[in-house]
Structure 1
């Protein structure tokens, strides 16, 4: 471990983890995505390209905090008509609720994996969300930035945030699944 690496990471109980401090998520290397089902069969993936987030790593990993602001108009599912519908009042109502937020309320950590629980606010409605998080490691980029990488997953029922638009199919199913999987791939840069 080089001295640069030692400054950016530390050993806790024999596991290399990020050093305590402020790590800002790099939006160019952040995938804040979701997966739903269309016709209850086909997976439809989307993501938000406008994300600002900070990970405050605590001296004790369980004292860490995460905050995020998501630009709801930045939704991108690869289909303009679908994205326009997602921005509309049927779903995100981005003109009246331009951002969603996430603020952690507790972090439970063991080795390189943990659970982050926090309040997700969409369209002015706040509900708790649980994310299963894996710390994937540390890298120093060619521009001398210290980076840490996390992967996270969780599931929500979109109707809990007032995202209830749907259509009943002739077969009795729904056009859009209620359950949405959250999928995050995050790189964060150490703030000095």
Structure 2
């Protein structure tokens, strides 16, 4: 009888331990936010944001979680200083009035045990619109150097920048579609 009660108590403790989501802090050295936009059908302009931060709460057993990523829009880096300045101006990111963009999700979609989508809201230029990031890969592993679990993956979406009021150059033939790619790794806290 005592053995049965002990097993039941241990099972209850183990079940409650699995029920709580784990929290992961995004590792800025393994997290990159990049974008690509067609340049008049000739080449592709690419850039990244050098400063970003965020966290993830993930319960892999329940297949639930929450993701929050804040991007410093003034940290935009295309490798060309004059282009960076133009992108920081009111024509595009208007970093003086909107120094950050934010993606928040509380809906993770799984296909079996594989994370397939992260559905959320992107706030950019003071406007919030829905955005779904497709998970092209996702994995958790024990980091041998940190001695902690790390989860991460590659996530991407194509968005229409005009949805957030970023319409400079559209009448000149610049495209509206922007490919957004977020490579992220979070360290379990």
- Same fold flag (TM > 0.5): yes
Instruction: Answer yes or no: is the 8 Å Cα contact 1:67–1:101 preserved in 2.
Output: yes
Say which SS state the counterpart of residue 55 (structure 1) adopts: strand
| Equivalent position of 1:118 in the other structure | 120
| Equivalent position of 1:164 in the other structure | 167
Separation of aligned partners in 1, 2:122 and 2:163: 11
| Equivalent position of 1:66 in the other structure | 67
What are the superposed Cα offsets for residues 26-48 of structure 1, whole Å, 9 maximum, x if unpaired?
A: 01111111110111331111111
The answer for unaligned runs of 5 or more in structure 1 is 1-18
Separation of aligned partners in 1, 2:124 and 2:37: 17
Separation of aligned partners in 2, 1:44 and 1:27: 23
Size of the alignment, in residue pairs?
168
Specify which structure has the higher proportion of helix: 2
Task: Name the CA shift for 1:87/1:168 in 2 (closer, same or farther; >3 Å).
Answer: same
Instruction: Answer yes or no: is the 8 Å Cα contact 1:35–1:182 preserved in 2.
Output: yes
TM score, norm. by length of structure 2: 0.82
Structure 1 segments of 4+ aligned residues over 6 angstroms from their partners: none
TM score, norm. by length of structure 1: 0.81
Task: Name the CA shift for 1:93/1:20 in 2 (closer, same or farther; >3 Å).
Answer: same
Structure with larger Rg: 2
Of 167, 186, 189, which aligns to 1:188? 186
The answer for unaligned runs of 5 or more in structure 2 is 1-19
Separation of aligned partners in 1, 2:149 and 2:63: 22
